[in-house]
Amino acid sequence: MSIAARSVVFPLATNVHLAFDTETLRTHTAWRGPSLDLHGAPYDGAAGKFLADFTGDFLFTNPPLFPWAGGKPARNILTDFPSKPRFLGLSTRGGVRTLMYELPLDAEETVRVHETPSVQFVDGTPVVVRRFEVAASYMDLEFTAHMEAGRQTAIGQNPAAMGILRQKDVLLVAFRGRPLLGWKPATGQADYVFETLREKAGETETVPRHITGDETHAVVHIPAHRGEISFEVLTVVCADKAEAERLLPKLIPAKVAPPELMRVSEPPASKPTNAVPAWVMTNAPVVREEAGFRIEQLQTQNSKLQTSPITGLDFLPSGELAFCTTRGEVFIVGPLDNPTNAPALRRFARGLMEPAGLRVLSGEIFIAQKCELTRLRDTDGDGEADFFECVSQGWGFNGNARQFATGPVADKEGRLHVFLDARGARWEVPFRGWDARFSRAGKDFEGWASGFHSPGGALSIGGEIFVTDNAGPWVSAAKLIHVRESQFQGHPATQPAPQEQFKEPKEFAPPAVWFPSRLAKRVAGFAVAPESWGAFAGQVIVADGEGGLLRVSLEQVNGAWQGAAWPLLQNLSLRATRLAMSADGKLYLGGATDGNTAALARISLPTPLPFEVKSVKAHADGFELTFTQPVDAASAGKPVSYEVSQFSYRHEAAPGVEHDFDGADGRASTLKVAAASVAANGLSVRLKIPGLRAGFVTVIRAAGLRSAAQPLRHDTFFYTLNQLPK
């Protein structure tokens, strides 16, 4: 049972562990026994279920309180949260794990705190040590170290210590360090309810927990101070008061090191010599060809990539390729095209929470975890990330296994967008099904657009934001969406969307492109073809998630994006989820094999391109088809060479069903081509099609068309006709 969905897990010793809630800035659980059974727990990397399944002996727990207060304490620390507490991230520099956050003092001022958990053993008994480094504060602070069932009791004569008489033991709590600290303990009668989380049948369930009876708050009073200070809070479970009084003299005298708040951000005095170990990839990729496309699957000898599908992919300025996996690891591989040296693969980071996106911005790696957007930094230059900076965790997350975050992607104003999965969402958990937008510093968080079901990938194309989304309730088929401010995309979104819309959403903005299920059942990441792709330059290549690639030709009509979609490649040796274009024009694919092992491949374009419909342009009375090679005029000029139909989808909770002009399910309306005019150079055909309707998907099949040497490689395309040109 978990009491926090955003937890940083610290293995303090082989069998002593601590979990910190980055949302409320509290240590919520410490225990003795095996590590958490988590899947991708932040910064821990253990495998298993997502939500915590605690086993072993609890040392202490804290309910969902905000433990800090400045000036006048909050009236109720369980409900009265300050408006601007901010988790800044985690440093692992030098092997020391340090939590960093900011506390609000007033509307303008904040105070920075670094918290470093550790354990020491006294006479074989584990003592949890929480070291605090606090920046200057013009007002007094209070820190609730514990909120435990039981009554307060004195331990010895030392004012730096206090005890809590629990049902079966005594919790000894003490502080050491700055001498002006003091305890402000209080025991009262508790009567409140808070929610715990658990998984049941793949869904996250909330279970109320009612707390009644004696409860003691162990509060540390920290006077205002002009400079940085450091102190430590010690917690140890004792069998009784006698053991607590025996251990106390061995705890208090230890000295506390002075504060070093700048330690995690200052560059090292000298470059470390402990280079990150690398795994060598084989220099002989598995190669095959399809229609002239060269497909190379890169091979690795690293068994750690087993059962770890790739979920993020992007190039660094050095030309190396960075990717992340479902197990929460980030790898960097390169050089990728050296004929004599095999590429080296090294791990850059681990322990992230099931990331579903990786983006390199200004040379830095940003990771979209389920719980937050994180910037990875190597502050000591040893080739491995040691600063996990929390850019934003402004969205709601209740631990549901399907609630991924996809992105980030930067718009033309430089703001970042993260797309949040709405599966398993509850309306009161904010921003599920939203495009969340904020600055690169994590400020000005806002919901930009809503109604997304299960975003598959996002990209900025010419400064405009596009995202793929997948079929489900209220989303009839997979689609490519041009994201616009305040536009609703169809699937129920949580608050701040209206609750009525969550129950039964109304009209929605049409996508730029629908992907009917016979073309693709699921879509994922995508990339824009570069100039070196010739006739396909500027088009969108989409991973269909089932072992193939799609090609999309977009155009803007009456201010709305729309376009045509075809298969590009099918039956690949991997199910690609992420795509990235290299500087030399190769398309890199990251995903998984059928055995769910991480898979990395690259594709080179054939020369010349096979005979295809290159692009489609809508007209008020039909379409203009452009080809990669001159078409045979005899067949292309006959209207009977083309089969045309149109269908649309209803916006409803049931699975999407195609319908015709009359609303008949499972049918499409057939249209006839009135005229087909072939251009003099044979590279285009103008079709006149009476009766075309906007708001429908147009299917055009041209099975009989040929070039001088070959038939059309793909004779059918689907054009989403949102607008007829005026």
Is there a domain that residue 85 lies in?
yes
Is there a domain that residue 448 lies in?
no
Kindly report the backbone phi and psi dihedral angles of residue 633, in degrees, each rounded to the nearest multiple of 5, phi listed first: -65, -30
Q: Which of 174, 146, 141, 183 is nearest to 59 (CA)?
A: 146
Q: Return d(Cα 296, Cα 572) in angstroms, integer.
A: 10
For the segment 42-83, what is each residue's pLDDT rounded down to a tens digit?
433 333 344 555 667 889 999 888 899 875 444 454 444 445
> Given 251, 281, 316, which residue is the final one in a domain?
251
Peptide bond preceding 530: is omega within 30 degrees of 0, i.e. cis? no
Range of the domain at 139: 77-251
The one-character DSSP state at 432 is: T
Task: For residue 283, name the pLDDT band (cuts at 50, 70, 90).
Answer: low
**pLDDT in the model for residue 47:** 37
> Given 221, 251, 281, which residue is the final one in a domain?
251
**pLDDT in the model for residue 127:** 97
For the segment 191-247, what is each residue's pLDDT rounded down to a tens digit?
888 777 666 666 677 777 788 889 999 999 999 999 999 999 999 999 999 999 999
Q: Return d(Cα 641, Cα 709) in angstroms, integer.
A: 18
Is there a domain that residue 714 lies in?
yes
> Given 235, 251, 267, which residue is the final one in a domain?
251
Q: Which of 543, 540, 568 is nearest to 554 (CA)?
A: 540
Global pTM value: 0.92
260-274, 349-363, 653-667: range with lowest mean pLDDT:
260-274
Total domain count, the chain: 2
Task: Please determine, for residue 709, whether its predicted confidence score (pLDDT) is greater than 90.
Answer: no
Share of the chain above pLDDT 70, in %: 90
**pLDDT in the model for residue 75:** 46
20-24, 162-166, 481-485, 616-620: range with lowest mean pLDDT:
20-24
Please, are residues 85 and 102 in contact by the beta-carbon 8 Å criterion? yes
Is there a domain that residue 647 lies in?
yes
Task: Please determine, for residue 260, whether its predicted confidence score (pLDDT) is greater than 70.
Answer: yes
Q: Return d(Cα 288, Cα 594) in angstroms, integer.
A: 18
Is there a domain that residue 652 lies in?
yes
Which is higher by pLDDT, 482 or 108?
Answer: 482
Which is higher by pLDDT, 517 or 197?
Answer: 517
**pLDDT in the model for residue 140:** 92
**pLDDT in the model for residue 522:** 95
Helix (H, G, I), strand (E, B) or coil at 3: coil
Is there a domain that residue 419 lies in?
no
Is there a domain that residue 190 lies in?
yes
Mean pLDDT, the chain, rounded, equals: 89
Is there a domain that residue 716 lies in?
yes
**pLDDT in the model for residue 262:** 77
The CATH number of the domain holding residue 696 is 2.60.40.1220
For the segment 558-607, what is each residue's pLDDT rounded down to a tens digit?
999 999 999 999 989 899 999 999 999 999 999 998 877 888 999 999 98
